[in-house]
Amino acid sequence: MSRITLSRVGKRYDNGHVAVRSIDLTIETGEFMVLVGPSGCGKTTLLRMIAGLEEVTSGSIQIGERDVTRVPPQARDIAMVFQNYALYPHMSVRENLGYALKVRGVAKAEAKTRIETVAGMLGLERLLDRRPNQLSGGQRQRVAIGRAIVREPAVFLMDEPLSNLDAKLRVGMRGELARLHNRLAVTTVYVTHDQVEAMTLGHRVAVMRDGEIMQVGPPEDLYRRPRNLFVAAFIGAPAINLVEARLEADGLSFAGWRIACPLPPGLGDAGRRVIVGIRPEAFEAAEFAPPGLPRLDITAEIVEAQGADSYVGFTLDAPRVEAEQIAAAAEGNDAALISEARARFMARVTPKRRVAPGETLALALDASALLFFDPDGGEALGQA
């Protein structure tokens, strides 16, 4: 059993800064849990607290049935992959892989077998006698992962392990990490600020902000049913489209459009102002969409053809939603480089419909995919 239980875990530094606020979280045995959030949200601090590298100032951490809150890192049976790999520069790959075994007094013959098994698993056989400075970024990454695997620990901790790799290698390594976890089934806590990594790797994802968990759940849940504006704005690439709307008796209106559609219960009465969130894929070029969906006529400003999909950007005749939660989320995915007064939307359309910038286009909107938020607190509305 290597379930990790965090009970009211908090971290306050001597200077009074609170990095982590009373977090309750249970990570089940064999689960791949991703902690995601913008810079400074406390995700790495929380990971280091689980590792024992950072003191827990309130609450407790259990691994299995054992309270490890005050247990030093070397006695927690945890392996960690660091952001910059932290391979010992004066040791060969073989020595790096075998160091933990040597420290733990594993017999030489057994250590040799385990090192060779892991090297075989990760394709490191030919690199065993090289030093870290003779390896490429991807190879170093493999060695760092191998060093964690060879110990056969109860828990893996990974601190943004792919962030130093180039984009193509990162995609490849992401797949390998997922396969490796399926094979080893070791409880894993993975920290990243990249929400694509979070969505593709995690069995569950915990979205953090200002030392608190905003929402935890399977990636699909976070995407389809975000609990608040921050999660909605943080999860998804391209980012969710947000605009202030007014509830009507038969639907809603925004930016001069009136959309007739059934609304979920619990939204409130007609006339109430809400923030509506529309994922890019809720749109489709009208001629390729099922009949009967509400239509919006837009003028395409930018077109991003990505092969399998095309994204069309357009501006609405409505003010941009100014919510502190959205700004905080945008900081994480670098979405808001240019400040715009008007709301800008991004719609995904089939590449079969070729769109040119400046062209007027009819978009169909799948109103069942709309998300609603309270403009004051940012809390989700109308979710069961």
Partner 1 sequence: MTRNLNFARSFGQICLTGFAAVYAFPLYLIVSLALKTEAEGARAPFALPSSLFSGNFARAWQTSATSGNASLAPAFGNSILITAVGVVLLVVTGALGGYVLARRKSRLADWLFVLFLIGLTVPQQLGIVPLFQLARGLGLVGSAGGMILIYAGLLAPLTIFLYTTFIRALPTDYEEAALMDGASRLRVFWDVVMPLVRPVTATVVVIQGIHIWNDFFTPVIFLLGSGQQTLPVAIFSLVGEYATAWGPIFAGVVIASAPAMAVFVFLQRHVVRGFSGGIK
- Least separation in angstroms between residue 87's CB and partner 1 is 8
- Least separation in angstroms between residue 294's CB and partner 1 is 54
- Least separation in angstroms between residue 366's CB and partner 1 is 47
Given the complex with partner 1, which of 53 and 171 has the nearer CB atom?
A: 53
322 sits in the region (left: phi over 0; alpha: psi -120 to 50; else beta) called beta
Given the complex with partner 1, which of 100 and 208 has the nearer CB atom?
A: 100
Place of tokens 């009211």: 8
Instruction: HSE, CB side, 13 Å, CA atoms: give it for residue 312.
Output: 27
CB atoms within 10 A of CB 344: 15
- Least separation in angstroms between residue 86's CB and partner 1 is 4
CA distances from 71 to 67, 75, 241 (A): 8, 6, 46
With contact defined as beta carbons under 8 Å apart, do 87 and 142 qualify?
A: no
Q: How far is CA 164 from the centre of its chain?
A: 17
The residues that touch partner 1, with contacts defined as CB under 8 A, are: 51-53, 72-74, 78-80, 82, 84, 86-90, 99-100, 103-104, 133, 147, 151
Given the complex with partner 1, which of 98 and 332 has the nearer CB atom?
A: 98
- Least separation in angstroms between residue 99's CB and partner 1 is 5
Given the complex with partner 1, which of 147 and 320 has the nearer CB atom?
A: 147
- Least separation in angstroms between residue 211's CB and partner 1 is 21
For the residues of 268-326, what is the DSSP string, one character each?
Answer: --TT-EEEEEE-GGGEEEGGGSPTT--EEEEE--EEEE-SS-EEEEEEEEEEPP--HHH
CA distances from 128 to 112, 165, 297 (A): 11, 21, 61
Given the complex with partner 1, which of 54 and 284 has the nearer CB atom?
A: 54
- Least separation in angstroms between residue 33's CB and partner 1 is 18
- Least separation in angstroms between residue 78's CB and partner 1 is 6
Given the complex with partner 1, which of 41 and 101 has the nearer CB atom?
A: 101
Nearest 5°: CA angle at 198, between 195 and 199? Answer: 90
Q: Indicate the pairing of strand 155-159 with strand 295-299.
A: unpaired
CA distances from 55 to 59, 64, 240, 302 (A): 11, 20, 37, 49
Contacts of 74 (CB under 8 A, 6+ apart): none
* Alpha carbons 284 and 373: distance in angstroms, whole number: 23
Given the complex with partner 1, which of 40 and 73 has the nearer CB atom?
A: 73
Given the complex with partner 1, which of 143 and 213 has the nearer CB atom?
A: 143
